[in-house]
Structure 1
């Protein structure tokens, strides 16, 4: 008991606050706070490990967290849906761990407040939220092992958000769905993307979606991919009956 008290007393006030915040988020006591600190270091900080000389940032933890999240979700679906074949299970897992969903999870936990960066926070895109959510999972795995990692994923992802019947009808890519429809009904389509000349601080892209030579929808976002997805989503709802009946 005295040993534990001594460890706590040697923490800085800043670390003590961070420790408390992380404990509330993950639902159990962190053992090695350094893993969690690293989960929020952006590469722009250019911090280097004193022993290895390697750059410290959340990207390796993000990679590890992505793999752990995918493994836990795959195991859950394998047990929960015994009749699902490989294609079905892969599709369902993709819906659960979609970038959009991970971004929402990161936002819900307000993880962005912990990020250390030399880049203005207004310059970051939406994906930063999902990236650090995955990095946090990687930190949990290194700190506490698979069991605690699984516990966190069930608490924050599976229990509150995973409803298999609802997920079956969820569309994860309107662009893919629209293109598939065009190919089946033999219609010509084209996404025309161009730089937006607006006065936004962050650069935007705009896109026009043509169907058989006519503009049917437009989209605007901070990346070409998002702009195309927005235009495809609007086109989907414009042709929803035709696409759904195919």
Structure 2
């Protein structure tokens, strides 16, 4: 898939025989009917493009649509494949499949960022750009090929290679949620103490201390508060794993 960088040129986007068309075809596995949907799916808001009515032309509305389509197709698959699962079980399993972490992984695997048109360099994109573009691509496929075509793409790229229900049952998508749930059920006081922890490399870091019942049980350091909290929670989880797993 790294060949995509070599064959892509923003100047060739509009034509069916152009490099952008070829790159999209390689990703989705079929010839797009209306390439314009895909151009929009790979356009970052920094490009400041608008249509003839002045409406923004970027992937954000397609991202919303793709998120809904993913949830719909995954929900239908789980409903059929897990007949004994109740509503709570099915919701939790769907959340694991369409988690931000997993969608980012899918976007990275397909090297979608290589096709993004933007006025800012890729290094300025947040980590979630990969999953956002994947969702936008799903939205574009729905508009271009309808529900059946969109469903086929999701099965090929998400369900068949990644959805193993037995494995997913044991997958943790948020250690922070697990730790908080345990603390609340056990009536334990918990607190995340967040502070700046900048290093010598010029990168901004955040430090986190997780305290339970006024005792620091885990520390972490990451480039975002959310990541630092999740890392600290993961360390706390493994420290209290036997007790947490009983809830």
Pairwise same-fold verdict (TM > 0.5): yes
1:206 corresponding residue in structure 2: 207
Look up the match of 2:120.
119
Distance 1:174 1:217 in 2: 12
Per-residue CA deviation, residues 54-95 of structure 1 (Å, 9 max, x unaligned), is 111100000000000000001111111111111111111111
Any stretches of 5+ residues in structure 1 without a counterpart? Answer: 1-9
In 2 relative to 1, CA 147–193 (structure 1 residues): closer, same or farther, beyond 3 Å?
A: same
CA contact (8 A) 2:14 2:36 kept: no
Change over 3 Å in CA distance of 1:245–1:12 after alignment to 2 = closer
Post-superposition offset of 1:13: 7.6
**C-alpha distance in 2 between matches for 1:11 and 1:126:** 25
Alignment correspondent of 2:33: 31
Q: In the TM superposition, what are the counterparts of 1:13-24 in structure 2 within 5 Å?
A: 16-24=18-26
Q: Residues 43 and 15 from structure 1, CA distance in 2 versus in 1: closer, same or farther, beyond 3 angstroms?
A: farther
Q: Could you tell me how far apart the structure 2 residues matched to 1:199 and 1:119 are?
A: 26
User: Who is 1:184 aligned against?
Assistant: 185
1:172-205 Cα distance to aligned partner (Å, 9 max, x none): 1100100111122222211011233235565432
Quote the Cα distance in structure 1 between the aligned partners of 2:199 and 2:62: 36
**Alpha carbons 2:13, 2:20 under 8 Å: kept:** no
CA 1:98–1:206: 2 relative to 1, 3 Å: same
1:223 CA displacement: 2.5
Contact 1:48/1:55 (8 A) holds in 2 = yes
Aligned residues: 236
What 5-or-longer segments of structure 2 have no aligned partner? 1-11
CA RMSD of superposed structures (Å): 1.9
Measured at CA, do residues 223 and 101 of structure 1 come closer, stay the same or move farther in structure 2, by a change above 3 Å?
Answer: same
CA distance in 1, matches of 2:128, 2:68: 17
Shift of 1:219: 2.3
Segments ≥4 residues shifted beyond 4 Å: 10-15, 199-202
On the 8 A contact 1:205/1:223 being kept in 2, the answer is: yes
Q: Which residue of 2 aligns with 1:57?
A: 58
Aligned equivalents of 1:187, 1:93: Cα separation in 2: 29
Q: Secondary structure at the residue paired with 2:18?
A: helix
- Residues 1:90 and 2:113 aligned together: no
Q: Secondary structure at the match of 1:47?
A: coil
Mark the CA change 1:122 to 1:14 in structure 2 (over 3 Å): closer, same or farther. Answer: farther
1:214, distance to aligned residue in structure 2 (A) = 2.1
SS, match of residue 125 in structure 1: coil
SS at match of 1:94: helix
Matched, 1:228 2:247: no
Q: Does 1:79 align with 2:80?
A: yes
CA distance in 1: counterparts of 2:201 and 2:70, whole angstroms = 35
2:4 aligns to what?
A: none
